[in-house]
Amino acid sequence: MTEAGLVIEETDETLQSDISKEILKQLKAVDSYGTYDGWSDAKILDPLILTKERKRAIPIIGDPDEITMSRVKSYYNALASLIEKESGLMAVPVINLSHEGFGRAFVTVGRLIVLDKTLRDVHRFGFPSLAKLNEEAVTLINRAVELIKTYPEVANL
């Protein structure tokens, strides 16, 4: 590893995937203070990876901070952006979170809800690995695009 404590290596091929690139774009877009300037892609995405050890270090009960909430929003914004790219129709992410880290995230295309996820324990939001993040994202995007193809009349409203 290039930096101590990182679980994503700079040479990880998954950093070049569409979802990784889009999440990076979304995270950098909400970085109003320039914190990520000069950071490597692996270092920016690293907090999204919760290994068993990292997860164990986070209390079971807790409120998410603003940084964690921005990561959640960036993830779903990235999914919506890629759904839009695949379908050619505008996809809008909607995220409703309580201060305790419970809520819902969904993506609409027209009047069609193409993605719906219940969010719990957002203070522990993350994935076991970057590959798992990409795998789950691709699955969600493919399901969304299939729904758009199945119900085009609703998606075009």
What is the reported pLDDT for 54?
Answer: 87
Cα 77 to Cα 129: distance, rounded to the nearest angstrom: 20
Q: What pLDDT does 86 receive?
A: 95
Distance CA 108, CA 133 (A): 21
Neighbours of 110 (CB within 10 A): 19
Q: What is the CA radius of gyration of the chain?
A: 16
Q: Which of 127, 156, 120, 121 is nearest to 23 (CA)?
A: 127
pLDDT per residue as tens digits for the range 97-127:
988 889 999 999 999 999 999 999 898 899 9
Beta carbons within 10 angstroms of residue 139's beta carbon: 10
**What does the alpha-carbon distance between residue 3 and residue 50 come to, in Å, rounded to a whole number?**
17
Residues in a beta bridge with 112: 109
Give the mean pLDDT of 129-150.
Answer: 96
For 17-49, write each residue's pLDDT tens digit.
999 999 999 999 998 888 899 899 999 999 999
Distance (Å, whole) CA 91 – CA 112 = 10
Q: Render pLDDT for 68-90 as a digit per residue (tens, 0 to 9).
A: 899 999 999 999 999 999 999 99
What is the pTM assigned to this prediction?
Answer: 0.90
pLDDT band at 4 (very low <50, low <70, confident <90, very high): low
pLDDT at position 3: 54
Residue 139 has pLDDT above 60, yes or no: yes
CA distances from 131 to 5, 86, 128 (A): 18, 21, 8
- By CB atoms closer than 10 A (0-12, 13-18, 19+), residue 91 is buried
Q: Determine the topology of domain 13-155 in CATH.
A: Putative cytoplasmic protein (1.10.3100)
